[in-house]
Amino acid sequence: MQLYTIGYEGAALPGLIGVLTAAGVHTVLDVRELPLSRRAGFSKRPLAATLAEAGIGYLHLKGLGTPKEGRLANRAGRMEAFWRIVDDSLATPEAAHDLARAAAVAAEAPACLLCFEARPHDCHRLRVAELLAAGHGFAVRHLDPAAGADPAF
């Protein structure tokens, strides 16, 4: 079973849609706590509408998002604190519920975890993907809106 991740930092919406389509993604799993963006088209409603036009489903999983203090730690480069906050957040019942939802959706057809950061190793979606891989056997690949797919990690 294949699970993808993608970050929209620096991406244009058409490029992101193109990469998702080329990979055969059926559903985007938005793992931002707050699915809002200053970038046109990347907030929840417009993104879901554009994905629907391309034949791709959309599901927001708030329980898998990074809390504000984690986002602030990431922006400040305090990565040790960021990962601790992410791990604590992903240990909650809300996260467990949304991890189960993500696994069920991704088991049916290829799905892609979406968040902001371009590099998965700078983003909490890496940890979400690792949990889904370990708990449900997914093979994980990162999609780059500019270049396609990176090797599995």
| Residue-wise pLDDT tens digits, 42-81 | 999 999 999 999 999 999 999 999 999 999 999 999 999 9
Residue 71 lies in a domain: yes
Mean pLDDT of residues grouped by 10 in the chain (153 residues)?
94 93 97 92 96 98 97 95 97 97 98 95 95 96 76 44
Residue 122 domain flag: yes
In a domain, 153, yes or no: no
Q: Is residue 132 part of a domain?
A: yes
Structural domain of residue 122, as residue ranges?
Answer: 2-143
- Report yes or no: 5 and 125 within 8 Å, Cβ to Cβ: yes
The count of domains in the chain is 1
State the DSSP code for 91: T
The whole-chain average pLDDT of the chain stands at: 93
How far is 19 from 89, CA to CA, in rounded Å?
30
**Residue 64 resides in a domain:** yes
Cβ–Cβ under 8 Å, residues 66 and 35:
no
- Assess contact for 66 and 74: CB atoms under 8 A: yes
d(CA 125, CA 86): 10
Task: Establish if 149 belongs to a structural domain.
Answer: no
For the CA atoms of the chain, what is the radius of gyration?
Answer: 14
